[in-house]
Amino acid sequence: MNLRRWLTPGIGIKRWLGVVFLGLLLLALAVAHVIRQVTQDLDPSSPVARGVDLITLQFLPYALRGLIVGLVGGGLVLLGVVRVVRSVTEPLRAADEEQPLVEVLYQKRFLARGPKVVAIGGGTGLSALLRGMKEHTSNLTAIVTVADDGGSSGALREELGIPAVGDIRNCIAALADAEPLMSDLLGYRFPGGRKQEGQPVETEPGGLGGHPIGNLLIAALTVVEGGDFEEAVRRMNRVLAVRGQVLPVSGVPITLHARTRNGVVVSGQSQVMRTSGIEKVWITPADVAASEDALAAIADADLIVLGPGSLFTSLLPALLVPGIGDAVAASSATRMYVCNVATQAGETAGYDLADHVEALLGHTVRGLVDVVLANDRFDVRVPSDWAAESVSLRWPPKAQPVPRLVTDDVVDAVNAHHHDPARLAAAILRAAERDAASGRRSGAARTA
């Protein structure tokens, strides 16, 4: 056991060791006082007096006597502290725990003092953000869209009437301490599903084929909770002991609709994502109730991050839920939009940075975003089989007021179409600190 590590600032151990030492010192003084009172009237030649002199080392010089007693006492205190800590902590250590318990405690203490961050969206972009951000704070809330209607999520939605669970599963796995093992487990799909070229796995009605274990767990918890989907997700958070929490934006299924510039209307997230030239998106039911937990998290946030993720099929379906966009707009937190590093075939084909921002602000309330974070590294390898391109940095957008633009290297070093979780989280926190220091988030400015 590394005792010095247990004394590292931030764990909260030293103060209590000091209290124990002070208590022992006072106890020793009390014992010395009692011995002095008992023996001061004894005959020095009596056996009791000679025994006390022997035990208290009166035959040694005063300085040497104090040194010996101090060394023995300090050694016993040290041995006792080590043994007590070991006895208490060993039963708490998992059999396969690779990280020392002191490191786990320090990490949790450090993360508990981190900023209150709310991330809104869905898809792989949000999962990447959560993987990076959980290393900086455990006060982390992911508010996830429930508009997906394809693959396993669509099948469970149709059969059980529950909201989409796929993005929620991915976000819970991303926040788990045992990630990526938990990602592999929750993402494991039972064999038997059909897959069409370029499409997600299709499930067979009434069977397990094509369903990930995580989706089935959330569906089962919903049934156990009497159909309360939000409570089922809360239970899933607790069962997997994630850092922070994952919340559905609403407890009921949402359907996404889109209209193109040519007047064509398509319905369903799986159809919208393959549609280009989108002019407007909306959701039904139009009066769907937002999650109360989500609204409370937004109101309490220090930093609200919109994206990254599919603009029309992950981010906007969450912001269009009544109350969510208004809650973000009313927040005194720094509100940051993280633009995708690459376009998406279909919904954002040909979009540059200004196009993304204009589409976001055109569907939401005025002044929703304080800061826009975009990637400025374009020398990374582009996957040859992806029908997309890096998002160029055209600025400013036509929407008013114009948010402050921050660019940084946030791209994956081996894939130009993915964010790097660690770089992304660090860039977000740097930009948020600069925004807070600049005083842009004053109540007067927000009201104006």
**Domain for residue 116, yes or no?**
yes
The domain tally of the chain equals: 2
The span from the CA of 126 to the CA of 231, in Å, is 22
CA-only gyration radius of the chain, Å: 30
Do 72 and 208 belong to one domain? no
**Domain for residue 102, yes or no?**
no
User: Domain boundary at 40, 58, 92, which?
Assistant: 92
pTM to 2 decimal places: 0.79
Do 21 and 165 belong to one domain? no
The span from the CA of 71 to the CA of 8, in Å, is 24
372 is in which domain, residue-wise?
108-447
- Note if the bond before 100 is cis, omega within 30 degrees: no
DSSP β-bridge partners for residue 84: none
CATH number for 320: 3.40.50.10680
Do 36 and 180 belong to one domain? no
Tell me whether strands 245-248 and 140-144 are parallel, antiparallel or unpaired: parallel
Query: Whats the size of the chain, residue-wise?
Result: 448
**Domain for residue 99, yes or no?**
no
Angle at 347 between CA 345 and CA 353, to 5 degrees: 90
Helix/strand/coil for 408: strand
Question: Do 124 and 415 form a contact (C-beta atoms < 8 A)?
Answer: no
> pLDDT digit of tens for each residue in the chain (448 aa)?
455 666 666 666 677 777 877 887 888 888 877 777 766 666 777 787 777 777 777 778 878 877 887 788 878 877 877 777 676 666 655 544 556 666 666 677 788 889 999 999 998 999 999 999 999 999 999 999 999 998 888 889 988 999 999 999 999 999 987 767 888 889 888 887 654 434 555 565 556 778 899 999 999 999 999 999 999 999 999 988 888 999 999 999 999 999 999 999 999 999 999 999 999 999 999 999 999 999 999 999 999 999 999 999 999 999 999 999 999 999 999 999 999 999 998 999 999 999 999 999 999 988 899 999 999 999 888 877 777 889 999 999 998 899 999 999 999 998 888 999 999 999 999 999 998 887 654 443 443 3
